[in-house]
Amino acid sequence: SYDLTQPLSVSVALGQTARINCGGNSIGSKSVHWYQQRPGQAPVVVIYRDSNRPSGIPERFSGSNSGSRATLTISRAQVGDEADYYCQVWDSSTAVFGGGTKLTVL
């Protein structure tokens, strides 16, 4: 089975840039999607196909994917960005999620 590795937690100072990594074997050859899940809420896609933002998602959210690592970047971090973030890919017709990263804005 395919595994995605994320850090358990990332902290960022208010207004600074947060980067959340997602590691996987040759993940650069796959499309990576990112979901934000605020406490008590359902997940919401913030980046799809590596670097595309759905309508309504701020430009502060961006994504990249190369080699063995995909990255979600959140610029000018706000308190409202505090949430769990999950990366997701498809492998052998199966959706795989990373374990999730808790983002704390200090």
Partner 1 sequence: QVQLQESGPGLVKPSQTLSVTCSVSGSSISSGAYYWTWIRQHPGKGLEWIGYIYNGGTTSYNPSLRSRLSMSLDTSRNRFSLRLSSVTAADAAVYYCARGRAGSFHFDSWGQGTLVTVSS
For position 85 contacting partner 1 by CB under 8 A, the verdict is no
* Angle at 70 (CA atoms; ends 66, 71), nearest 5 degrees: 120
Is residue 77 a contact partner of residue 105, using CB atoms and an 8 Å limit? yes
Binding residue (CB under 8 A) for partner 1 from 18, 100, 103, 105? 100
Chosen residue from 21, 43, 69, 82 binding partner 1 by CB under 8 A: 43
**Shortest Cβ distance from residue 95 to partner 1 (Å)?**
4
Burial 2-23 (b: 16+ CB within 10 A, else e): eebebeeebebeeeeebebbbb
Using CB under 8 A as the criterion, which residues of the chain lie in contact with partner 1 when the complex forms? 31, 33, 35, 37, 41-45, 48-49, 52, 54, 86, 88, 90, 93-100
